[in-house]
């Protein structure tokens, strides 16, 4: 009888495995994989969501899963600085190709992403750049005039905002092929031109499904004395890196854009996710983190932190510029951190929201990246307008495309006028939501 029961159980397990039906139907695919020995990879996460636009999908959960799959810590490496050799603990996305590597005139290989490589850190991503939004807004003539000294600062962006942009191998392989103005001009010439008076929204290139780009925003952190415990404690709540001068930098904002192809032969769509530093999660009711983090458009995370954000005044709609309490992360997010073995410091960051189309939601922005444009900020609308002109120049090299109108950003679907001159004739051609094309030389 015992042998018969055992054989029956084995047969049931084999049948379940063959039919993939052992997981209760009430569980999501993500929940089912949580009990597995290894969590889903980035590729598996992307594959699981392709073709699901227009259907109910837990996109905040997807955002956190993507984040977790690209944020595991590497073996420590060392960086040589004027202050001596400093030890780094990079995460995966910090080892990807940055703009300098991607758009170098001389072809550069994609950096090694061996998590056990150790040794010397890749130096390229220590070369922080001015944020791309400010580059797009500042007058190019003034920028050229100031090239020998301090650059003119646009007052709408935090004064000390500096950024580094990274992309994975799938994005790098395509963009690296357009790394020079000559290559870009040829691509513009090869694009089928619309009839007179009409506009095409086709992109010069179409990044593949699974392409990921990360925009990271950093701020210098103070040097703490050996007895300054409060300073040390605050610095420890940031994910940090060093610049080439050995200055400690703290991560304050993060955009992650993930490419999905909803249907075969259809241009892919991007999923936009943004995080902000929320302060010390060990003190969930003490206001801390980025001032104004949830101002105006709120913070909306149905997976990791589903309770309403509150400010130091205890209100969900406080005066602008207030600090908010970190709050308590969900058990789902704690389980995710355990599954992917993420560093505890990432619990000090909050997903502000996920945008999948120009109306879902209509607005999304990061207080450290978009600045005061938050009230009308839309990742989708802004990046849908990323383009070069018909001379293969970026938006700075030619007539500047209007991403702002009377100091407000646009929301909503694309319009023909975004890509035409006054006649109107199309002179701008889309670059698959990639504003980093401004770095082409």
Residue bearing the bigger pLDDT, 11 or 293: 293
Task: Tell me whether residue 46 is in a domain.
Answer: no
Residue 304 has pLDDT above 90, yes or no: yes
57 falls within a domain: no
Q: Summarize pLDDT for 203-236 with one digit per residue, the tens.
A: 889 899 999 999 999 999 999 999 999 999 999 9
Q: Which conformational region is residue 210 in: left (phi greater than 0), alpha (psi within -120 to 50 degrees), or beta? A: left
Give the pLDDT mean for 145-149. 32
To the nearest whole percent, how much of the chain has pLDDT over 70?
Answer: 71
**Closest by Cα among 7, 366, 401, 390 to 200:** 390
Say whether pLDDT at 32 is over 50: no
pLDDT at residue 289, rounded to an integer: 93
**Structure confidence at residue 301 as a pLDDT band (50, 70, 90):** very high
Please say if the pLDDT value at position 149 is more than 50.
no
How many structural domains does the chain have? 1
| pLDDT, position 115 | 63
Is the pLDDT reported for residue 112 higher than 90? no
Three-state DSSP class for 231? helix
**Does residue 331 belong to any structural domain of this protein?**
yes
Q: Dihedral of CA 15/19/20/26: which sign?
A: negative
Is 21's pLDDT higher than 50?
A: no
Percent of the residues in the chain that have a pLDDT greater than 90, as a whole number? 31
pLDDT for 262 equals: 60
Which residue reads 């995080």 in tokens? Answer: 275
Is a pLDDT exceeding 90 seen at residue 317?
no
Distance CA 126, CA 103 (A): 16
> Higher pLDDT residue, 25 or 424?
424
7 located within any domain = no
Domain membership flag for residue 40: no
Segment 146-159 shows an average pLDDT of: 39
Residue 224 inside a domain? The answer is yes
**Exposed, middle or buried, 276 (CB in 10 Å: 0-12/13-18/19+)?**
buried
Identify whether 38 is part of a domain: no
263 pLDDT tier (thresholds 50, 70, 90) = low
Handedness of CA 184, 189, 191, 194 (dihedral sign): positive
241 pLDDT exceeds 50?
yes
Residue 9 reports pLDDT greater than 70: no
Alpha-carbon span 79 to 120, nearest angstrom: 6
Indicate whether 153 pLDDT > 90: no
What domain range is 431 assigned to?
68-147+158-439
The answer to whether 330 and 306 are in contact (CB under 8 A) is: yes
User: Within a domain: residue 45?
Assistant: no
Query: Which of 275-279, 339-343, 426-430 is least confident?
Result: 426-430
pLDDT in tens, 319-374: 788 899 999 999 999 999 999 999 999 999 999 999 988 888 889 999 999 887 88
The pLDDT of residue 318: 63
pLDDT over threshold 60, residue 142: no
Mean pLDDT of the 65-86 span = 86
- pTM greater than the 0.85 cutoff: no
- The pairing of strands 129-130 and 162-167 is antiparallel
**What per-residue confidence (pLDDT) applies to 199?**
87
Locate 224 and state its tokens. 């703490």
């Amino acid at each position: 009888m015992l042998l018969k029961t055992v054989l029956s159980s084995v047969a049931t397990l084999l049948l379940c495995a063959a039919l993939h039906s052992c997981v209760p139907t009430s569980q999501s695919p993500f929940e089912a994989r949580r009990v597995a020995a290894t969590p889903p990879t980035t590729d598996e996460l992307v594959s699981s969501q392709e073709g699901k636009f227009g259907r109910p999908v837990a996109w905040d959960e997807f955002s956190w899963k993507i984040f977790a799959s690209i944020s595991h810590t590497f073996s420590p490496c060392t960086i040589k600085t004027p202050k001596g050799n400093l030890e780094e603990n990079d995460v995966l996305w910090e080892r990807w190709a940055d703009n300098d590597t991607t758009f170098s005139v001389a072809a550069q290989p994609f950096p090694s992403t061996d998590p056990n490589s150790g040794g010397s850190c890749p130096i390229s991503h220590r070369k922080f750049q001015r944020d791309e939004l400010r580059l797009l807004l500042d007058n190019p003539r003034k920028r050229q005039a100031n090239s020998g000294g301090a650059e003119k600062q646009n007052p709408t962006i935090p004064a000390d905002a500096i950024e580094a942009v990274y992309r994975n191998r799938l994005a790098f392989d395509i963009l690296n092929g357009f790394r020079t103005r000559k290559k870009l001009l040829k691509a513009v010439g090869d694009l089928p031109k619309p009839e007179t008076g009409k506009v095409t929204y086709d992109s010069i290139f179409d990044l593949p499904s699974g392409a990921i780009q990360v925009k990271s925003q950093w701020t210098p952190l103070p040097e703490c004395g050996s007895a300054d415990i409060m300073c040390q404690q605050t610095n420890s709540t940031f994910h940090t890196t060093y610049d080439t001068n050995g200055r400690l930098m703290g991560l304050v904002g993060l955009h992650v854009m993930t490419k999905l192809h909803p249907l075969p032969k259809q241009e892919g769509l991007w999923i936009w996710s943004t995080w902000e530093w929320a302060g010390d999660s060990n003190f969930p009711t003490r206001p801390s983190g980025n001032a104004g983090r949830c101002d105006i458009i709120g913070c909306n995370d149905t997976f990791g932190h589903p309770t309403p954000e509150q400010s130091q005044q205890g209100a969900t709609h406080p005066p602008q510029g207030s600090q908010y309490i970190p709050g308590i992360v969900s058990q789902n997010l704690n389980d995710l951190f355990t599954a992917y073995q993420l560093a505890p410091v990432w619990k000090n960051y909050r997903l502000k929201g996920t945008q999948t189309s120009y109306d879902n939601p209509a607005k999304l922005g990061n207080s450290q990246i978009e600045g005061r444009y938050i009230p009308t900020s839309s990742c989708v609308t802004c990046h849908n307008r990323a383009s070069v002109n018909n001379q293969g120049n970026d938006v700075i090299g030619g007539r500047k495309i209007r991403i702002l109108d009377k100091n407000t950003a646009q929301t909503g679907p694309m319009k023909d006028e975004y890509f035409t001159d006054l006649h109107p004739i199309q002179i701008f051609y889309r670059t698959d939501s990639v504003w980093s094309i401004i770095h082409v030389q």
